[in-house]
Amino acid sequence: MSATNVTKTVNVSKSGILSRTHRCIVVNRKQLPPITSKKRTLISTLKKNSSIANDKKRLPPICDKYPKKKVSFNEQPASSARLPTDTQRTSTSFKSTDKTTSDKEYSTTQSQVHFLHPFILVWLCSNDMKSIVDYEQSISKLQQAFHTTINLFRNYQECMNFLHMKTDETIYLILSNDIDKLTIIDIHNLSQIDAIFIFCKIMPKDKQWIKDWTKIKGIFKNIDKLYEKVKQETQKRRCESFSISITSIDLNRLDSSFMYTKLLKEVLFDMEDDNKAKKELIQFCRINNMNNFGRMKIIDELEQNYDIYSPIWWYTRGCFLYDMINQSLRLKEINVIIQIRFLIRELHKQIVQLYKQPSEKLILYRGQGMLYSDFEQLRSQQGGLYSFHQFLSTTTNRDVALTYARSNRDNPELISIIFHINIDPDSLTSALFASLSAESYYKTEDECLFTMHSIFRVGEINQLEHQLWQVELSMTTDEDMDLKKLADNIREATKGSTGWNRIGKLLLNMGNFDEASEVFEILIKNSSENDLEERAHLYHLMGSVKQNKDDHEEALILFEEALKIYQSLPSSNHLNITRLYNDIGSEYLHKQEYSQALKFHQMAFDIQIKSNPLSHSDLITTYGNFGEVHKHMRHYSESIKFYEKKLSIYKKSIPFNYLNLSITYENIAEMRYNMKEYSMALKLFRKVLKIQQHRLRLDRSTIADTHKNIAKVHQKIEHYTEAILHYQYAHGIFRKSFPVNFLELAMICNEIAEIYKKMGNTLKAFDFYKEALRNLERSPNPKGAILSTIHNNIGQMYERIGNYTNAFYSYRQAIVIEKQLLLPNHSRLQSYKTDFNRIQ
């Protein structure tokens, strides 16, 4: 694997064009302001020997304006699965405590791992509630019953902010009776709210109004009755939980997260550390359930009596292990999966052992609820492939499946689905399953369990009755060449001497840098002093982690240490050295030492061009790096030459990597724009937009950026109507995003206003300047420079219509804001003063 992680970078040129680049470094996309340096770790012992340890001229690292996950692996798009941060996993309403509470106390400690609960309990108390003491026993009872911590809020807005952050969760909300009914209106339509329960001390006289709200499951005075109702709803939801785990596999829009799941499965099952893995599983469960007496008892049993029962018996027992396994697989929480790998692997191995090829045709059934959006995606993939990431429970009894499916019809946000899984005895398949009749905790005779990452082909989809659909699935033996090619690429990138080495590389490629860092630190610590080449490679990998985290000083120290070791060896892996040269060159580009950057990229190229066989993927990286350096040197023609060489290789690749293709077109378009070749730039940006809309699953903001680029070109050549149209497309996308990017909206409105001003439409320009200001005032991080500019622009509009008093105040406000900036722009400030003095 290359330790180099080719990431997509979006820069903003002085012209305002957004560009995404491939380099062995850096960041994702959008404008790139400086940020403060990160916390130092690991490599203090190497700094003394580094040639750049005391470099005081290094530029600050850069990152996204709105950081998103980094992208890595030989220019493959990053997995959509990213581990939630610790702050995302905990409620803002409770502070964590290290104290261990007894089982009679209610804990204010948020669970350290998000997956342990298949749903989230939220309790919104009334604003005038003086304390929660009266509810303490109720809270404690619910927490013990459901083995989860209640997220308690007394402030309505804080609660709403929390709910809006949990868009991918299932939330059960408990409300105090005296909560305003207007609150119900705001909350009821949130898709993440699955059920609402109203708890009160005194039963209200008027209970009829709740019938208008389908998610309200009742008003409860007794905590036991509330518990029973919540339990009933959670059991029903548990049967639906797989709906979110389905991934469509569109061969024209290859989903890299699907392939990473496949590769993760391979790596996990190849690792041979059962004794160690079992101990890690037990330790992990204890750490995350230390305040839960019921679970700790089960963990003790698991440790002492695991071998007495089968993995399927433990899985079907109905305890937290079931949810722990499936939710971590569904959410792709790789750090959790690694910790519980023992149970996942054991469960898979038993399914493989129990699998028997059926002697005749068989139909298995599964009933569940599915979100409308997921169902529409499923319908669009008729004839295509679908994957279930988790272990999949099915039944041979259609009536049982229908009961589960129909139980969802009370939920207006769900479509009831019954899957018919057709098993053909004559076809071989990788989707293995086992009957649970002899192994299940409940000794069910009609249940079958599929192993994780089972793939099916979607057949006919028919409506049976209102809100109930039947979906035919068939086992598939398809080893599609596109999927195989992508899998081979990722498999090559995650080659390693041990399973842990492969896990580290997989984490690195998926953008889970903190977890990858932990793995590589352990591997470096345990590496043999005699195996210098392996140690150099690990330093290189750790440098790549630092590089992707924008710790550029540490990255370069690690890269140079790796290079020293490679140079001390009589012979080394040329492929590793070329990738290391490219990474070092990219760090010098970051330092704006362009001649040094070109030197190291040339050293990489000289080795690559002589290698046999020629590695086109590595050559692509080097061409992209050359193009990037020349772009920064403003050698635009030279930059285009390298980008076009890169493009030529992409066009010959099978399968097409449309993401990399679109980014390279975008790079060339930016160079054409900088060279004032606007018609060519426009043609290329339109090609980028077409690929993004029809060939890629991208964050909508990426498409919005392309609309902005097209608008910018039209604006430059005075095609104002077209420019406004594309700015409005971008505006519409950003307006519908969550959270709303008010800063982007402000900048777009300002550009539209500028166009209307040039067209002589003062009133329209005035409206958009004011809209820009309103958006900027709603932005959590408004930029002072933009704020001062918009105030000055508004002042000009007031002056045009003869409202000199308001023009005076707007001009003055622009001057005040500009003076308060840490680094005021003196030419801009002078321009504001000129406007201000003109109307005094």
Which structural domains are found in the chain, ordered by start?
86-221 (3.40.50.2300), 250-478 (3.90.176.10)
DSSP H helices in 271-363: 274-287, 293-305, 311-315, 320-330, 334-339, 341-354
Q: Is 250 helix (H, G, I), strand (E, B) or coil?
A: strand
* Residue pointed to by tokens 């630092």: 546
- The C-alpha atoms of residue 73 and residue 284 are separated, in whole angstroms, by 30
- The C-alpha atoms of residue 199 and residue 176 are separated, in whole angstroms, by 5
Cβ(290)–Cβ(98) below 8 Å: no
Q: Which of 93-102, 151-160, 423-432 is the most confident on average? A: 151-160
Residue 293 carries which side chain, given as an amino acid letter? F
For residue 34, the cross-strand partners are: 62
DSSP letter (8 states) at residue 85: P
Considering only 5-9, 296-300, 745-749, which range has the smallest mean pLDDT?
5-9
- The C-alpha atoms of residue 310 and residue 816 are separated, in whole angstroms, by 73
For the CA atoms of 248, 252, 64, 337, what is the dihedral angle to 10 degrees?
Answer: 40
- Joined together, the tokens standing for residue 395 give 């039944």
Chain-centre distance for alpha carbon 660? 19
pLDDT surpassing 90 at residue 107: no
Query: Strands across the sheet with 385-388, in order?
Result: 246-249, 385-388, 454-465, 468-475, 414-423, 362-371, 392-395, 447-450, 433-435
Q: What's the sign of the alpha-carbon dihedral 808, 810, 816, 821?
A: negative
Q: Which residues contact 794 (CB under 8 A, 6 or more apart)?
A: 766, 769, 770, 773, 810
| Helix (H) / strand (E) containing 334 | helix 334-339
Return the percentage of the chain with pLDDT > 70, whole number.
74
Q: What's the sign of the alpha-carbon dihedral 427, 431, 437, 439?
A: positive
Which residue has better confidence, 755 or 166? 755
Which pLDDT tens digit goes with each residue over 598-638?
A: 999 999 999 998 887 777 788 999 999 999 999 999 999 99
Which pLDDT tens digit goes with each residue over 498-551?
A: 777 888 887 888 788 888 898 898 888 888 888 899 999 999 999 999 999 999
Q: What's the sign of the alpha-carbon dihedral 615, 619, 622, 628?
A: negative
Q: What is the pLDDT of residue 383?
A: 81
Q: Is 212 helix (H, G, I), strand (E, B) or coil?
A: helix
User: How many Cβ atoms from other residues are within 10 Å of residue 48's Cβ?
Assistant: 9
Q: At 254, is the pLDDT very low, low, confident or very high (cuts 50, 70, 90)?
A: very low
Q: What is the pLDDT of residue 318?
A: 77
- SS3 helix, strand, coil % of the chain, rounded to 5? 55, 10, 35
Return the percentage of the chain with pLDDT > 90, whole number.
37
For residue 415, the cross-strand partners are: 370
- The C-alpha atoms of residue 170 and residue 553 are separated, in whole angstroms, by 42
The closest of 684, 660, 713 to 17, measured between CA atoms, is: 713
Which pLDDT tens digit goes with each residue over 184-196?
A: 777 887 777 888 8
User: How many Cβ atoms from other residues are within 10 Å of residue 295's Cβ?
Assistant: 19
pLDDT surpassing 60 at residue 49: no
Q: What is the pLDDT of residue 732?
A: 92
- The C-alpha atoms of residue 394 and residue 383 are separated, in whole angstroms, by 22
* Residue pointed to by tokens 């492929």: 575
Mean pLDDT of 346-365: 91
For the CA atoms of 504, 510, 511, 515, what is the dihedral angle to 10 degrees?
Answer: -30
Mean pLDDT of 240-258: 48
Cβ(695)–Cβ(252) below 8 Å: yes
Q: What is the pLDDT of residue 186?
A: 72
- The C-alpha atoms of residue 677 and residue 643 are separated, in whole angstroms, by 16
